[in-house]
Chains A and B, each alone.
Chain A
């Protein structure tokens, strides 16, 4: 039984398994990039034939990255990572916390990196002087049977870099799992001037879920470059909760609105058929008002005694825009007609006052709505990964020892050291320390 358990453990702890899962995950991932994902079944029948389509269905190829077998691979990968990390942790921890003064003197003297000096000073005095030297190394001291041992190290903690890289992957997975359990993705279209209290999930049934508050769109704007290419999609959103306007934000692509754990992203737009926004301003009194209007109908601005409507339209022109013919009347009862271009101001001169008049098409703004309470785990995991990679790749655990033995009032000083990585960098550190010792006059060292 015990043996069995060890075998299972060893299987999951092995790097061979890791190499295998890297390979299988990479190979399997290719499938989903070659076979279009998330299409209707009919698509696969047409493209690949009914037999293959059936096979695809069994293996959930149309939604491959969420299929049972792909998720199982990710679970295998995580298990491998967890067991491997637990398995190796004690060893790494031992290396981090190891007492370098307890190291066997014989091994210290045989390190590949070493240098020996002689001096006429007694060992205790040398040890004190070395301790008092200002170097980047902080030495600890221990009395040994035949001499004094000084030991110093740097970057012992850097051995934890590998662990943090591996753990960071698990943290990212945890974030992804939290997101998929407690989060959702949905969307909603809101027409200008309209509002929404619920959104539709991106699931098979487009489930409707309530927001718990209301989002109103006061304005949508489609800005274009003069080439006609879209420049920016902009929506003025207002959050209304319990009848009160609690938040206002102008969102655009790459700059969403966040409210109560939900994020509203600008994702699309759609022109309303036959509905326009008209803005009109009395230039004398600066009174202004906004109207929503359809073609062939008229509206009234009672306070000003105005009445106007759309009687005709021409187009579409280059970028899909129209021109509209406006019928306009006021208290003077001498109606006029004029043409407008979408978004352009027209000055309507009347006996009583001049009016600034503009008409533009109305849109639905398309909002992507996401709730993802796991995203901070993912970001923290990513941060840990980058730091961990840096530490694991570029920082090293360096150790140096100075062993001073005394015989017949004559001392020998053995300097040795080792580093787990970056041997060239350590060589330089080691030579620097060695020279520093040699050049320190109070030590009176002679290189052997």
Chain B
């Protein structure tokens, strides 16, 4: 794609807390759909978005078993972003802040993201057309 743009997203919220994580992933999804290259720096609680042990559960209040409930787990959304990038030709570089991972014991994540540091965010910022920070509030 001529003039292909690169966007960097900085995420901070953990999954299963506020709508910001969902919104962030939706924005990344749209960027990848449109063929943009995307960098993600998962900072603090956001490193758990890709945590591989997230497990869907049944829901007694809804009256549905595990299969019927289709409980969303953000690791699936992250995986979808990488899958979609293969189709659209987008390059997705998702960096998990290493110190944030260590302090949470969150070292198990799905295929796709890689371990990194704020130095990666510096590179992302310098090489991107724009950076969007979605912080914790």
Asked if A and B bind, the verdict is no
Which A residues are closer than 8 A to B by beta carbons?
none
Which B residues are closer than 8 A to A by beta carbons?
none
